[in-house]
Amino acid sequence: MTAFGFEVLGEDGRARRGRLTTAHGTIETPVFMPVGTAATVKGMTSESVARTGAEIVLANTYHLMLRPGAETVDKLGGLHSFMDWEKPILTDSGGFQVMSLTNLRKLDDTGVEFRSHIDGTKFLLTPERSIEIQNLLDSTVTMVLDECTANGVDEAAAAESMKLSMRWAARCREAFEQRDGYGLFGIVQGSVYPDQRLESAAALVEIGFDGYAVGGLAVGEGQEAMFSVLDVTTPALPTGHPRYLMGVGMPDDIVGAVQRGIDMFDCVLPTRSGRTGQAFTRRGTLNIRNARHAEDPRPLDPESDYPSVGNVSRGYLHHLFKAKEMLGPILLTTHNLHYYQELMRDIRGAIEQGRLDEFAVEFRAQQAQGDIEPL
Amino acid sequence: MTAFGFEVLGEDGRARRGRLTTAHGTIETPVFMPVGTAATVKGMTSESVARTGAEIVLANTYHLMLRPGAETVDKLGGLHSFMDWEKPILTDSGGFQVMSLTNLRKLDDTGVEFRSHIDGTKFLLTPERSIEIQNLLDSTVTMVLDECTANGVDEAAAAESMKLSMRWAARCREAFEQRDGYGLFGIVQGSVYPDQRLESAAALVEIGFDGYAVGGLAVGEGQEAMFSVLDVTTPALPTGHPRYLMGVGMPDDIVGAVQRGIDMFDCVLPTRSGRTGQAFTRRGTLNIRNARHAEDPRPLDPESDYPSVGNVSRGYLHHLFKAKEMLGPILLTTHNLHYYQELMRDIRGAIEQGRLDEFAVEFRAQQAQGDIEPL
């Protein structure tokens, strides 16, 4: 059996080059996790996800508990078998979606009672049930149930919410069934308030987790506020455990967060944008639906060194989106996930060479150039 | 350069085991061609199409002439480069869709005038323009422009329409630019009337084509009538050229048509059905949306000897369709195309062994068993 563990292979400023070992394989960090909400990264086969370089995916407990149900996934062998993905899977706790996407029925110390958006069925999500569901899903990395505060909350409310999250974190730790190679992560809350963040971090470290996430960000506070929170928070987290910034983000956010000591990321941007025709490239984003691409024989990202989507032209991709063909979203999702994995590979290389700050400057300069010139 | 040619490697009754040589590669026949209407087999990358075993795909001239336009495809290097598919491509003439899908403006000896269903632009499709478009598309196999008669047409009307198609066929032959490894196919018309079919076949052979298609079938006449037409028609076609039954069909239609001397097929069934949840298996079709599959850990077709869609269960596929995830249509399309290619492989093997009639009996018996029993 494999112990769940994190090794810091090298450092560059506050950035770390690490390796996470799990029951389902190792993960080189800093890492980006594609989002596979309903046990599928939208538009991708598990094989095509792996071919982008992804070593771990995220799945959403909220969606899976409603459909097909955690017990059904368990009967079908757990999430790895269910979605034909043998590598690690991280699941969130379900709390974020329950509290932001559904009509709340009741939120108290016990947990959250809510109705399914699919058929109105009543559910109760408690710290213990969230852990049980993630156990049934066979998640490699389980997240504690927490409350994610909205942007703009005042400090008193942020403190009260954070304390609730810390009580839930302790109950999750208690409920989590320890298995070789499986891990449980705590989540730092406290909104934009340094004292609350520090208190939250200390509370989690006191309980003891296999990894530490920073939650409650990427909710509209802006990059500067987010980076400020990281500047306060990551130094308060133990160096020997992975740090995960939830729901982030744009390529530029990721580079800056790695510089501030973050090891793990997830975000729907590359997949969601891909479905609407937005492509990430070394020279910023572009929308392939734009008429200027209609007869362009060049690839999406001529400066990329990988053939993310075969030898297709911008003109072909433009055609696919105009004709509403499924292959358009498929290829742009593939491309964007490739882009994100290539970015993480380059970030890891820069840390290894001790030149992450230079890399960040070059990265931002290249992004600022904007898309390649029309032919 | 490669000459376009067809070699009959073996025979079994009227069935032939053949090999078609083209500028873009060889094709083992009998062959099934997946349909890539708008320069994409819906939901599939060109690589995933190739992995199902497909050696040639069909694209629709009507759709491509409207969007992105034949001249645009030409500017982007032709259809092979455009859709990143190096193997052979057969294009239809555009006539079938113009006459069945759009409001006819005028049909006479010159050609067909019609308006685009996308933006109302007026187009004139003549035999010469159809050939020019298919040339711009860089089609490996070009089809003549013809008129496809509706089911139930009387013999006089069928004869008149067939004669128009034969005049157009001669003009297409004249307009076709001969290039090494490229071919032009004539199309036999004449509805269900033996005399008309024989007259049409003789007219085409007199003009001389690289291959001969049987058109005007699979329009609602039923399998028995279709087979009767084939019984009359294929003996009137030269043995040294491939024979293509357009738009067919169900697996059972294909087996029977091969027994009657057909070498090539195309049909939207495996792709269209796959998008709506219908799967083809050795034991007939099933609809994966049916609740009985929800917790079934078994693969779609346990009796198949290829892993068409990885190791996923019926339960997972059911979940994908219920959750309206793109991956459902993607995986079922992949599976169905695999099924069709495996069927053709088995048919070719049976001809080689001189046991196609026995194969057909076994095939129909297995299909009649119906889907595997619920667990």
Residues A234, A361, single domain; the answer is: no
Weakest mean pLDDT among A256-270, B90-104, B234-248, B249-263: B90-104
Measured between CA atoms, how close is B258 to chain A, in angstroms?
Answer: 32
3-state secondary structure of A310: strand
Q: Which B positions 306-325 lie with beta carbon below 8 A of chain A?
A: 309-313, 315-316, 318-320, 322-323, 325
Identify which of B270, B281, B323 has the alpha carbon closest to the alpha carbon of residue B304.
B281
Q: How far apart are CA A8 and CA A329, in angstroms?
A: 37
Asked, for residue B375, whether it belongs to a domain, the answer is no
Cα dihedral across residues A75, A77, A79, A84: positive or negative: negative
Residue B346 has what pLDDT?
97
pLDDT in tens, A276-294: 999 999 999 999 999 999 9
Across-strand partners of B284? Answer: B281
Q: Which of B82, B315, B326 sits opposite A326 (nearest CB)?
A: B326
pLDDT in tens, B80-135: 999 999 999 999 999 898 888 777 678 999 999 998 888 888 999 999 999 999 99
Eight-state DSSP code of residue A293: G
Asked, for residue B373, whether it belongs to a domain, the answer is no
3-state secondary structure of A142: strand
Contacts of A68 in chain B (CB under 8 A): 294, 315, 318-319, 322
Final residue in a domain of this structure, among B267, B295, B318: B267
Residues A324, A232, single domain; the answer is: no
pLDDT in tens, B291-337: 999 999 999 998 877 667 888 999 999 999 999 999 999 999 999 99
Contacts of A57 in chain B (CB under 8 A): none
Q: Look at residue A306 and tell me whether its pLDDT is greater than 70.
A: no
Q: Which of A38, A84, A322 sits opposite B311 (nearest CB)?
A: A84
B9 touching A, CB under 8 A? no
Distances (CA, A) of A250 to A256, A364, B268: 10, 12, 40
Residues 6+ apart with CB under 8 A from A301: A279, A281, A282, A283, A308, A335, A339
Q: How far apart are CA A291 and CA A300, in angstroms?
A: 14
Give the residue numbers of A marked as catalytic.
Answer: 92, 266
Residue type, A99: M
Residues B255, B295, single domain; the answer is: no
Identify which of A261, A267, A297, A298 has the alpha carbon closest to the alpha carbon of residue A281.
A298
Asked, for residue B102, whether it belongs to a domain, the answer is yes
User: What does residue B106 show for φ and ψ, rounded to 5 degrees?
Assistant: -165, 130
User: What does residue A12 show for φ and ψ, rounded to 5 degrees?
Assistant: -145, 100
- CA geometry: angle B107, B110, B112, nearest 5 deg: 35
Residues B94, B33, single domain; the answer is: yes
**Looking up tokens 């989540």, which residue turns up?**
A187
Measured between CA atoms, how close is A31 to chain B, in angstroms?
Answer: 24
Distances (CA, A) of A275 to A45, A253, B328: 15, 21, 16
Asked, for residue A373, whether it belongs to a domain, the answer is no
pLDDT in tens, A177-200: 999 999 999 999 999 999 999 999
Q: Tell the burial category of A238 from Cβ atoms under 10 Å away from its Cβ (0-12, 13-18, 19+).
A: middle
Looking at the 3D structure of chain A, how many domains does it have? 2
Q: Which A positions 269-298 lie with beta carbon below 8 A of chain B?
A: 294-295, 297
Residue A102 has what pLDDT?
72
Final residue in a domain of this structure, among B209, B244, B267: B267
Residues A330, A208, single domain; the answer is: no
Q: Which of A47, A76, A295 sits opposite B313 (nearest CB)?
A: A76
A147 close to A165: Cβ distance less than 8 angstroms:
yes
Asked, for residue B233, whether it belongs to a domain, the answer is yes
A38 touching B, CB under 8 A? yes
Residue B310 has what pLDDT?
80
Determine the residue of chain B that is closest to A72 in CA distance.
B295
Residue B56 has what pLDDT?
98
Determine the residue of chain B that is closest to A316 in CA distance.
B82
C-beta atoms of B75 and A311 within 8 A: no
Residues A262, A363, single domain; the answer is: no
Residues B159, B223, single domain; the answer is: yes
Q: Look at residue A227 and tell me whether its pLDDT is greater than 80.
A: yes
Q: Which of A40, A322, A325 sits opposite B327 (nearest CB)?
A: A40
pLDDT in tens, A316-354: 999 999 999 999 999 999 999 999 999 999 999 999 999
Eight-state DSSP code of residue B35: B
Determine the residue of chain A that is closest to B44 in CA distance.
A327
A24 close to A179: Cβ distance less than 8 angstroms:
no
Q: How far apart are CA A338 and CA A305, in angstroms?
A: 11
pLDDT in tens, A84-93: 999 999 999 9
Residues B207, B242, single domain; the answer is: yes
Residues A18, A160, single domain; the answer is: yes
Q: How many CB atoms lie within 10 A of CB A38?
A: 22
**Looking up tokens 């190791």, which residue turns up?**
B311
Residues B16, B66, single domain; the answer is: yes
Q: What is the ipTM of this complex?
A: 0.97
Residue B83 has what pLDDT?
97
Identify which of A258, A260, A287, A253 has the alpha carbon closest to the alpha carbon of residue A273.
A287
Q: How far apart are CA B57 and CA B46, in angstroms?
A: 10
B115: domain CATH number is 3.20.20.105
**Looking up tokens 């941007």, which residue turns up?**
A269
A119 touching B, CB under 8 A? no
Residues A292, A318, single domain; the answer is: yes
Asked, for residue A169, whether it belongs to a domain, the answer is yes
Residues A29, A167, single domain; the answer is: yes
Residue B314's domain comprises: 277-368
Calculate the dihedral angle through the C-alpha atoms of A60, A2, A84, B342, rounding to the nearest 10 degrees. Answer: 170
Find the distance separating the first CA and the last CA of chain A, reported in whole Å. Answer: 56
Mean residue pLDDT of chain B comes to 96
Q: How far apart are CA B232 and CA B13, in angstroms?
A: 15
A91 close to A143: Cβ distance less than 8 angstroms:
yes
Asked, for residue A74, whether it belongs to a domain, the answer is yes
Asked, for residue B110, whether it belongs to a domain, the answer is yes
Q: Look at residue A364 and tell me whether its pLDDT is greater than 90.
A: yes
Measured between CA atoms, how close is B84 to chain A, in angstroms?
Answer: 6
